[in-house]
Amino acid sequence: MDAYTPRKEHKFTFGLWTVGNRGRDPFGDVVRDVVTPIRAVQKLSELGAYGVNLHDNDLVPLDATPTERDRIVKEFKKALDDYGMKLVMGTTNLFYHPVFKDGAFTSNDPKVRAYALQKSMQAIDLAVELGAEIYVFWGGREGTECDASKDPADAIKRYRECINFLIGYVKDQKYSLRFAMEPKPNEPRGDIFLPNVGAMLAFIETLDDPDMVGVNPEVAHEHMAGLNFAHAVAQALEAGKLFHIDLNAQKLNRFDQDLRFGSEDIKGAFFLVKLLEDHDYDGPRHFDAHAYRTEDEDGVWEFARGCMRTYLILKEKARQFNEHPAIQELLAQVQPRDAELESLMSRYSPQNAQVLRQKQFDIEAMGKKGLGYEKLDQLVIDLLLGVA
């Protein structure tokens, strides 16, 4: 036990599919044995996680009979109870079966869209039965390679119609479930609709009940598109839309690498953790990642331990940043306050506009002043490298 040992109150979660990942990739077969859902619950609990997340078919096979389904659910519920774990988030697998090869909610074929809705209603029932509070929609197959095949505006309309249908279903069932939409720019499709956090936030506002729906941003997904993840998360947080988060690591502009949290881009990971902690984000911290393909099961648990440990180390670094005298002094200099100007700008009025028009600004002096960001950034580097 040390200061970086995870505890339940840190709200760390893992998808069953993350520690259950067997290392299959497009070029090679599985390299590890199955980690059953019950084993995942037991091991993650021992390691200090708060809960797990699942796709319907991570737990219940697609071809299970109703009796089999009920037995599996009962055993899984018991494991959650036995090990003091929560089922935090549920989602539907709308990407694996060939029926979804050209999309689920955005498929051209009404039969496929209808089946996707039927499967989602069943998966929502399952998630609620297990105690889920959040339901994620990741539209992995909602996209195209062949743009001739569908009108992208129609695809968005169909997407909206399906999410609205499920909003209606959840309300009708009186479930207290919130939706979190997860954007991704591509993979497995050549291009996926609603490719980033900004696009998703705009889409949400067009739904029947925007308050019920937020986003589930993922580090890897924004980094695949070369974007600043913390900035995307900040926009969601500021809008009250950060319902869930998928933490992992990724080199920029590559395929979805799903690496251990913090294993790439330490500085980006630091500013992300700092953002979440500074803004008292109280949702689950979900690691949507998996162990390197080089690992056996022991490596999987090292991976899980590492994700949580790095988060807690960065949380401590964020605390140190906020109390670091030299950093805080520099910040005070570059973040000056001006009560009069701030009040003038805070709201438009003809009077405020008039006063602002008359103001004199010495823009030459303002433009000449150095900001000291080289020093500030180096202090951050020193802090992160343990030299400060």
Q: Is 223 a catalytic residue?
A: no
184 binds ligand GCO (CB under 6 A): yes
106 binds ligand GCO (CB under 6 A): no
| Interatomic CA distance for residues 280 and 11, integer angstroms | 13
Closest separation between CB of residue 131 and ligand GCO, Å? 17
Q: Which C-beta is closer to Mn ion: that of 217 or that of 306?
A: 217
136 binds ligand GCO (CB under 6 A): yes
Q: Which tokens belong to 234?
A: 């900040």
Closest separation between CB of residue 352 and ligand GCO, Å? 46
Angle between helices 197-204 and 229-238 (to 10 degrees): 20
Q: Is 58 a catalytic residue?
A: yes
Q: Which of 288, 300, 307, 315 binds ligand GCO (CB under 6 A)?
A: 288
Closest separation between CB of residue 347 and ligand GCO, Å? 41
On whether the CB atoms of residues 122 and 116 are closer than 8 A, the answer is no
Closest separation between CB of residue 136 and ligand GCO, Å? 4
Would you list the DSSP string of 68-94? HHHHHHHHHHHHHHHTT-EEEEEE---
Q: Which of 14, 135, 138, 271 binds ligand GCO (CB under 6 A)?
A: 138
Number of residues that bind ligand GCO (CB under 6 A): 10
58 binds ligand GCO (CB under 6 A): no
- Which residues share a beta bridge with 54? 90
Instruction: From the list Mn ion, ligand GCO, none, pick the one residue 91 interacts with, judged by a Cβ distance below 5 to 8 Å according to partner type.
Output: ligand GCO
Residue 84 dihedral angles phi and psi, to the nearest 5°: 60, 40
100 binds ligand GCO (CB under 6 A): no
Q: Which tokens belong to 384?
A: 């992160």
On whether the CB atoms of residues 35 and 72 are closer than 8 A, the answer is no
Q: Which of 47, 229, 288, 304 binds Mn ion (CB under 5 A)?
A: 288
Q: Residue of minimal CB distance from ligand GCO? A: 138
Scan for tokens 């060939």, then name that residue. 98
Exactly one of 56, 58, 258, 265 is catalytic; name it.
58
Which among 260, 262, 264, 252 has a CA at the least distance from the CA of 293?
A: 260
The 8-class DSSP code of residue 260 comes to P
Which among 213, 178, 215, 210 has a CA at the least distance from the CA of 195?
A: 215
From residue 233 to residue 272, what is the string marking binding to Mn ion with x (rule CB under 5 A)? -------------x---------x----------------
Q: Name the amino acid, one letter, at 2.
A: D
Segment interacting with ligand GCO, rule: CB under 6 A, options 69-77, 132-140, 154-162, 291-299: 132-140
On whether the CB atoms of residues 133 and 179 are closer than 8 A, the answer is no
Number of residues that bind Mn ion (CB under 5 A): 4
The beta-strand segments (E) located in the chain are 12-15, 51-55, 86-91, 134-138, 143-144, 178-182, 191-192, 213-215, 246-247, 285-287
Closest separation between CB of residue 4 and ligand GCO, Å? 26
Instruction: From the list Mn ion, ligand GCO, none, pick the one residue 263 interacts with, judged by a Cβ distance below 5 to 8 Å according to partner type.
Output: none
58 binds Mn ion (CB under 5 A): no
246 binds ligand GCO (CB under 6 A): yes
Greatest alpha-carbon pair distance for the chain in Å reads: 78
Q: Which of 56, 218, 222, 264 binds Mn ion (CB under 5 A)?
A: 218
Q: Which tokens belong to 172?
A: 């009708």
Q: What is the dihedral of CA 196, 198, 200, 206, to 10 degrees?
A: -160
Instruction: From the list Mn ion, ligand GCO, none, pick the one residue 136 interacts with, judged by a Cβ distance below 5 to 8 Å according to partner type.
Output: ligand GCO
Which among 342, 318, 322 has a CA at the least distance from the CA of 331?
A: 322
Q: Which of 56, 102, 142, 218 binds ligand GCO (CB under 6 A)?
A: 218
- Which residues sit at the interface with ligand GCO, rule CB under 6 A? 91, 136, 138, 140, 182, 184, 218, 246, 256, 288
Active site positions, annotated = 55, 58
Q: What does the binding site for Mn ion look like in residue numbers (CB under 5 A)?
A: 218, 246, 256, 288
